[in-house]
Structure 1
Amino acid sequence: MNIDWKDALGALKSSGAIPEDNSPEPTDESSQKDEGSTKGSVQKSPLYVITDRKGRKGKTATIIEGFEGSDDALESLAKTLKQKLGTGGSTRDGEILIQGDRKNDVTNILRSLGYKTK
């Protein structure tokens, strides 16, 4: 004997195991905090994206300057950029260094994350 899934669902609803109202319970957004967020809502001033070759044996690097935030947030943003670009990089002294000339790609990713760039 086969039980229709609609009949089984109706039986669960009538027994009270599943609430009739399918709307999610209201949540207090101020109490929820996204720890790993890389959104640029806190960033007031724009980030400066430049390319540089000095001191790198002729190899080009893309540098993001002007980040305002904690070191953890800087590390998180750098990790996101490196993953999206598929390249290496590092952070130091409030700057993010991305290997290669990826200025346009970095600018596009930062803008999609909500940061202002110059």
Structure 2
Amino acid sequence: MSRENRLVYSTDRGRVKEEPSQESRRSGDGIVRIQRESKGRKGKGVTCVRGLPGSDADLKLLLADMKKRCGCGGTVKDGVIEIQGDKRSEIKALLEARDFRVKLAGG
């Protein structure tokens, strides 16, 4: 969509927000990568899951199952699931049971 055709404000509806399309997320190479990160979190480690297909609503449903399985908190940010703590083995077992190709990334 070019910038000239983009509607920003309408007198009927007020400010117009664009809805991001579900196809905007890249599907990747079909491998789900699980990585532990602590950078920018004051030393607190989280497990990040990248490369999952689907919309944010699908990721939130999967996140709920992960949080129940791991017994900890988590969130979805920009298509990446973040689970508190180092829960790579539990998440890997859960995703492999759902027929995802999983790879442990990082050190």
Q: Percent same amino acid among aligned pairs?
A: 34
In 2, Cα distance between equivalents of 1:90 and 1:80: 12
Query: Which structure has the greater CA radius of gyration?
Result: 1
1:90 aligned residue = 75
1:79 aligned residue = 64
In 1, Cα distance between equivalents of 2:50 and 2:32: 6
TM (norm. structure 2) is 0.67
In 1, Cα distance between equivalents of 2:29 and 2:56: 17
Q: CA deviation at 1:92?
A: 1.0
1:49 aligned residue = 34
Give the 3-state SS of the residue equivalent to 1:117 in structure 2.
Answer: strand
Give the 3-state SS of the residue equivalent to 2:49 in structure 1.
Answer: strand
Runs of 4+ in 1 over 3 A off after TM superposition: none
In 2, Cα distance between equivalents of 1:44 and 1:115: 12
Give the 3-state SS of the residue equivalent to 2:58 in structure 1.
Answer: helix
1:105 aligned residue = 90
Q: Deviations over 1:74-115 (max 9, x none)?
A: 111111100111110000100000000111111111111221
Q: Which has the higher helix share?
A: 1
| AA in 1 matched with 2:93 | N
CA RMSD of aligned residues (A): 1.5
In 2, Cα distance between equivalents of 1:105 and 1:49: 11
In 1, Cα distance between equivalents of 2:61 and 2:101: 17
Q: 1:61 aligns with which of 46, 63, 78?
A: 46
Q: Which consecutive unaligned segments of at least 5 residues does structure 1 have?
A: 1-42
In 2, Cα distance between equivalents of 1:58 and 1:71: 27
TM (norm. structure 1) is 0.61
Asked whether the 8 Å contact 2:47–2:84 carries over to 1, the reply is: yes
In 2, Cα distance between equivalents of 1:87 and 1:64: 15
Asked whether the 8 Å contact 2:67–2:74 carries over to 1, the reply is: yes
Number of positions where the alignment pairs a residue of Structure 1 with one of Structure 2: 76
